[in-house]
Structure 1
Amino acid sequence: MVFARERAGGRMFRSAVLPAAASWVRAVRPALVVGLVVAGLAFAVMHGSTDPWLFGYYTLFGVCTGLMAIISRGVDDSMRQALAEQLAPFIDGASADHPVTLELKASAPRQVRAAKAAVGHALEALYNRAQIDVLRRAQMIIAAGRDAR
């Protein structure tokens, strides 16, 4: 279970670092380079090697996997489902330990629609389509598990 959480967290981490770092630069090509370099360095730092050659290898590997992610334009459907299945127990456990209620309190239906639209735009700004799909699938797995209980 712990290994599955670590793999799922690692996939989400790698798919979030590159676009976040690339957003620091406006021009497309420099943004790509900055995103790849930062993601590669973050990958190497997360592996905690003190050997410079191994650190360089991890950095190069991180840059190459970042390029593969860009070229493939995300992950396939089976990978999204597998990731959602690995993330669902972690999300369910975290939400049980720290419950959050998102009840919109508005006096008019128009305000509720505006609030939901704002939350939707925020999610689209923070996550790419594949990440949102994985989170949606994980939520469906959690809901199905609660209905079965």
Structure 2
Amino acid sequence: MSEESIPDIPSRLREGLRGGLQTSLKLVKWVVPLYLVVDLLKHTPVLEQMGALFAPLMGLFGLPGEAAFAFVAAFLLNLYAAIAILVPLDLTPWQVTQCGLMMGLAHNLVVEGGVLGSTGARGGLLTLYRLLIAGVCGLTMAGLHRLFAS
């Protein structure tokens, strides 16, 4: 084996650690501020009042109205932002699972819809399908929860 083909392990480790740290810092820039804002708003009437606007829609899924903000973050930003909003809401394990399933199906819609469109696929139509499938799964889970919780 020639000396050129031997990988330089220390430099690759440094490069990997640097890349991991940069990615972590990017995530922290979104996650920490969102978490703090929601946690602070939770102690004021603002979050409850804003959540009341979305309560009828979110109630279909057996979720509090405040969970709508996490869905907006998941749809427009990413799952990390959505998690930062969900954590201070004190949801039940079932509700967190339900949100995770729905958001896993329909997240980062703007970027992924654009990527799909650039491949020749119908990005808008596929985005709509993702939203519909997430909604059907959320309604199914809400129904299952009502069935088994009683």
TM-score, length of structure 1 as denominator length: 0.26
Please tell me whether Structure 1 or Structure 2 has the larger radius of gyration of its CA atoms. Answer: 2
Compare relative contact order (CA 8 Å, sep 6+) and give the higher one, 1 or 2.
Answer: 1
